[in-house]
Amino acid sequence: MDSTFDPTFDPTASRGQPMTRAAAPPAVDFARYAEVARGKIEIALASWLTSKAKETAALTPEARAPIEAAFDLARRGGKRLRAVLAGCTYEGFRGEGGADAVLMAGVALELLQVYLLIHDDWMDGDELRRGGPSVPAMMRAQFSSRDLADASAILAGDYAAGLALDALLSVPCAPGRVAKAAHELARVMQDVVAGQLLDVHASHESARLLTERQADVECMHALKTASYTVRAPVLIGARLAGASDPTCRVLEAFAEPLGVAFQLRDDVLGTFGDPRATGKPAWSDLRQGKRTALVAAAAEDAEAASFLRVLGDADAEVAELEALATYLTRSGVRARVEARIDALLSEARAALDSPLVPETARLVLEGSIVALGRRER
Amino acid sequence: MDSTFDPTFDPTASRGQPMTRAAAPPAVDFARYAEVARGKIEIALASWLTSKAKETAALTPEARAPIEAAFDLARRGGKRLRAVLAGCTYEGFRGEGGADAVLMAGVALELLQVYLLIHDDWMDGDELRRGGPSVPAMMRAQFSSRDLADASAILAGDYAAGLALDALLSVPCAPGRVAKAAHELARVMQDVVAGQLLDVHASHESARLLTERQADVECMHALKTASYTVRAPVLIGARLAGASDPTCRVLEAFAEPLGVAFQLRDDVLGTFGDPRATGKPAWSDLRQGKRTALVAAAAEDAEAASFLRVLGDADAEVAELEALATYLTRSGVRARVEARIDALLSEARAALDSPLVPETARLVLEGSIVALGRRER
């Protein structure tokens, strides 16, 4: 068990940042919940994919292959954090039957992510995903025509999008709640695409990298990551439990800073994390020239230019990358990003201080702050 | 006004095919309804896209461009047949407030089609769509990087998919009905992709063209076209009006043959239609080597091989294409496809003979048989 899910792990112990709610027990409930919930989600997902596979049995083997590749990626999932978050929010808001009643919402969120990952990996040319080949790489290995492989990958993603909606509409809650949850799905489908558009267009203008503003990177993170990593899971869970519009606005004020902090943490781990823990190749963010908060923070520093020129150089020497990482720490850039994460997590925590959030929900969502914002992998 | 919408046009007059319900007044109600409904749908779509455009105003101009291209394609729509069909089905099933109450379902179907057309045009390399450049072509004209143009086109389609769901969930009907309608959307999103997978994979195996079976082509048409052209519009309209599961099964038995006939009609028009009426370049289906019912029917004919070798040759001489078209008529291939269309339309009509379909719905859906199955453009 890593520190994220260690009930004895106290994120406040090693940091100077004050907590707005010092007395709250942090990760215990969420960590215990996540352990159990993850197993149930795996079973629900596997069972649903098996039933869905029967529906495609009449297709030709070539036409079925992209769908099976999407299923394979879905099964290779990691922490199932988004699905866990939806279930625990539902339970926190005292949804009938507890989280087990809305496992299909978790399945939907996993399939939404599969859709997004497939299209992202195709756009970014990423070969690896979740410890195996990405879906576009699987398609290229299977079909000799590059056009056919590309079309197959896009269609595999499109299929997963339809599956995600199908799964969410299969949740056995009151239809009015299901329709509102589906509306959150429609919203996140738009936001993630807008965030990805910001990302791919800015990434193609390499000259912009050094004038990148922190606010722009955070806007992209909010749309591209926070929306589907925190906001959609939390709001779908809350909507299914019957949470009101004003309550959902409170939850948005919680979800957005937590989601952005999640991605900033990803940015830090992508450069400073242990590749054995993160599963990402060492230095991959820097080699790919990703638009991270570290780069944006460094852009404000006059000394940065000479170090940042290796960004996006796939063949950069390890020594150069180490020099960049050292510079990012020595110059205080890393500390500035870590401080920003702390501020965002405090903001998320403060949002939960609302009479609209019942104590059970507050406890479990506070636990999620640690799991998502302080993770080491 | 073309013959499709001419109330005096009698499709039975010039053909030998008997109608199973000779006394039914054919296109009158549907044609009148379609004329009025189309105008209302244009207004609802334009108004919704204007409000959606405000939501993306904060994006950079480059990130906004693909979304605007999708909006542009949506505005350039043609007959709005799918939206009309949803509204008239709702009204036929005596949905409260009539078709005007479910205009957003029509908007959703138009945006679903925009999503599908964008991804299809990207896969097929089609430059033209609805009398203007396709979205992928617009992106290539705007962005010099081919990768960036491709990613932008795919994301424009993805965005439209989210918008389609958003629009459908905005229909002001009882949430239980809206959720069921959205489930039809989820289903069609899967079916269309499965059909497109069958198409792109079979198209890449050119050797298969001459062994194509009619049944395979119809299976593809059912998934790829019938599903979103007839089944989804009719079932979404019926679900929003509160139609029961058994009634929806009757409507499926109506929708599938009509939808396949619609596409077979498209196949015939793609080779024999007047380019000024269809808006398609002359011979485009043959030059692109499309998997049409004509090709499948010809494949059963021993004499076909020498004519079919020009299929898929973008630079084929007009004389060769004319010889192929003449052969398709002379050999009886075209007549076989036309007879199949007639049989499918009779099957659709027969399905409406059910006590579960109220007279108002039967009349308007019979009208749609003429509009979709007998059209000249």
- Contact between B165 and A185 using a beta-carbon 8 Å cutoff: yes
What distance in Å separates residue B155's CA from the closest CA in chain A? 6
A176 in contact with B, Cβ within 8 Å: yes
A98 in contact with B, Cβ within 8 Å: no
Q: What does the CA dihedral A163, A166, A168, A172 come to, rounded to 10 degrees?
A: -140
Looking at the partner chain, which of A158, A169, A200 has a beta carbon nearest the beta carbon of B193?
A158
In contact, A230 and B181? CB cutoff 8 Å? no
A292 in contact with B, Cβ within 8 Å: no
CB within 8 Å of chain A, chain B residues 116-145: 119, 122-123, 143, 145
**Nearest-CA residue of chain B relative to A194?**
B63
Q: What is the pLDDT of residue A113?
A: 97
Q: What does the CA dihedral B289, B290, B291, B297 come to, rounded to 10 degrees?
A: -70
Contacts of B46 (CB under 8 A, 6+ apart): B75
- Contact between A155 and B197 using a beta-carbon 8 Å cutoff: yes
**DSSP codes joined into one string, A35-96:** HHHHHHHHHHHHHHHHHHHHHTTTS-HHHHHHHHHHHHHHHT----HHHHHHHHHHHHTT-T
**Within this chain, domains A24-172 and A174-358 share the same CATH topology:** yes
Q: What is the pLDDT of residue A20?
A: 43
Query: How many other β-carbons are positioned within 10 Å of the β-carbon of residue B98?
Result: 12
What distance in Å separates residue B367's CA from the closest CA in chain A? 31
- Contact between B202 and A60 using a beta-carbon 8 Å cutoff: yes
Looking at the partner chain, which of B155, B161, B185 has a beta carbon nearest the beta carbon of A196?
B155
> Pairing relation of β-strands B128-129 and B132-133?
antiparallel
Residue B189 with chain A: CB contacts under 8 Å:
158-159, 161-162, 165
- Contact between A166 and B183 using a beta-carbon 8 Å cutoff: yes
A187 in contact with B, Cβ within 8 Å: yes
- Cα distance between residue B148 and residue B135, in whole Å: 13
- Contact between A193 and B158 using a beta-carbon 8 Å cutoff: yes
- Contact between B194 and A123 using a beta-carbon 8 Å cutoff: no
What distance in Å separates residue B162's CA from the closest CA in chain A? 5
B152 in contact with A, Cβ within 8 Å: yes
- Contact between A162 and B196 using a beta-carbon 8 Å cutoff: no
Q: Which of A113, A189, A191 to mutate to test the interface with B (most CBs of B within 10 A)?
A: A189
pTM beyond 0.95, yes or no? no
Name the packing angle between helices B103-124 and A146-169 (round to 10°): 160
Q: Looking at domain B22-172, does it have CATH number 3.30.420.40?
A: no
Answer CATH for A24-172 from 3.40.50.10610, 1.10.600.10, 3.20.20.70, 1.10.30.50: 1.10.600.10
Per-position pLDDT tens, chain B of length 377: 333 333 333 333 333 344 444 444 444 468 788 888 999 999 999 999 999 999 999 899 999 999 999 999 999 988 899 999 999 999 999 999 999 999 999 999 999 999 999 999 999 998 999 989 999 999 999 999 999 999 999 999 999 999 999 999 999 999 999 999 999 999 999 999 999 999 998 877 654 555 567 788 889 999 999 999 999 999 999 999 999 999 999 999 999 999 999 999 999 998 888 877 776 777 888 888 887 888 888 877 777 877 778 888 888 888 988 988 899 999 999 999 999 999 999 999 999 999 999 999 999 999 999 888 887 77
| 3-state SS string for B106-117 | HHHHHHHHHHHH
Residue A179 with chain B: CB contacts under 8 Å:
169, 175, 178-179, 182
**DSSP codes joined into one string, A317-333:** -HHHHHHHHHHHHHTTH
B53 in contact with A, Cβ within 8 Å: no
- Contact between A63 and B193 using a beta-carbon 8 Å cutoff: no
Residue A178 with chain B: CB contacts under 8 Å:
175, 179
- Contact between A155 and B193 using a beta-carbon 8 Å cutoff: yes
Domain A174-358: top CATH class: mainly alpha
Q: Which of B104, B121, B190, B206 to mutate to test the interface with A (most CBs of A within 10 A)?
A: B190
Take residue A261 and report the two structure tokens written for it: 């902090």
Per-position pLDDT tens, chain A of length 377: 333 333 333 333 333 344 344 444 444 468 788 888 999 999 999 999 999 999 999 899 999 999 999 999 999 988 899 999 999 999 999 999 999 999 999 999 999 999 999 999 999 998 999 989 999 999 999 999 999 999 999 999 999 999 999 999 999 999 999 999 999 999 999 999 999 999 998 877 654 555 567 788 889 999 999 999 999 999 999 999 999 999 999 999 999 999 999 999 999 998 888 877 776 777 888 888 888 888 888 877 778 877 778 888 888 888 988 988 899 999 999 999 999 999 999 999 999 999 999 999 999 999 999 888 887 77
- Contact between A185 and B196 using a beta-carbon 8 Å cutoff: no
Residue A151 with chain B: CB contacts under 8 Å:
123, 200
What distance in Å separates residue B222's CA from the closest CA in chain A? 13
A307 in contact with B, Cβ within 8 Å: no
**DSSP codes joined into one string, B217-247:** HHHHHIIIIIIIIIIHHHHHHHHHTT--HHH
Residue A165 with chain B: CB contacts under 8 Å:
165, 182, 185-186, 189
- Contact between B67 and A194 using a beta-carbon 8 Å cutoff: yes
Residue B152 with chain A: CB contacts under 8 Å:
197, 200-201
Residue A187 with chain B: CB contacts under 8 Å:
162, 166
Residue B143 with chain A: CB contacts under 8 Å:
204
Take residue A30 and report the two structure tokens written for it: 């969420």
A172 in contact with B, Cβ within 8 Å: no
In contact, A99 and A87? CB cutoff 8 Å? yes
- Contact between A63 and B198 using a beta-carbon 8 Å cutoff: yes
In contact, A291 and A209? CB cutoff 8 Å? yes
Please report which residue ranges of chain A form alpha helices under DSSP H: 28-55, 61-75, 81-92, 103-124, 135-142, 146-169, 175-203, 214-221, 232-240, 245-272, 275-278, 284-288, 293-299, 305-308, 318-330, 333-351, 359-373
ipTM here: 0.90
Burial group, residue A50, by CB count within 10 angstroms (0-12, 13-18, 19+):
exposed
Contacts of B114 (CB under 8 A, 6+ apart): B70, B73, B74, B157, B160, B164
Q: What is the pLDDT of residue A212?
A: 64
Residue A190 with chain B: CB contacts under 8 Å:
55, 159, 162-163, 166
Residue A135 with chain B: CB contacts under 8 Å:
none
In contact, B169 and A214? CB cutoff 8 Å? no
At the topology level, CATH places domain B195-356 in Farnesyl Diphosphate Synthase (1.10.600)
Residue A67 with chain B: CB contacts under 8 Å:
194, 197
Chains A, B: CB pairs < 8 Å? 157
Q: Which of B67, B71, B117, B154 to mutate to test the interface with A (most CBs of A within 10 A)?
A: B154
Element (DSSP H or E) covering residue B327: helix B318-330
- Contact between A148 and B200 using a beta-carbon 8 Å cutoff: yes
Query: How many other β-carbons are positioned within 10 Å of the β-carbon of residue B66?
Result: 33
B228 in contact with A, Cβ within 8 Å: no
B151 in contact with A, Cβ within 8 Å: yes
Q: What is the pLDDT of residue A206?
A: 56
Q: What is the pLDDT of residue A273?
A: 84
What distance in Å separates residue B338's CA from the closest CA in chain A? 27
Q: Under DSSP, is residue B133 helix (H, G, I), strand (E, B) or coil?
A: strand
The angle subtended at Cα B361 by Cα B359 and Cα B362, nearest 5°, is 60
- Contact between B194 and A62 using a beta-carbon 8 Å cutoff: no
The amino acid at residue A231 is R
Taking the domains of chain B in order of start, what are their residue ranges? 22-172, 195-356
Greatest CA span in chain A, whole angstroms? Answer: 62
Residue A57 with chain B: CB contacts under 8 Å:
none
* Cα→Cα distances B57→A257, A296, B53, B360, Å: 22, 23, 6, 44
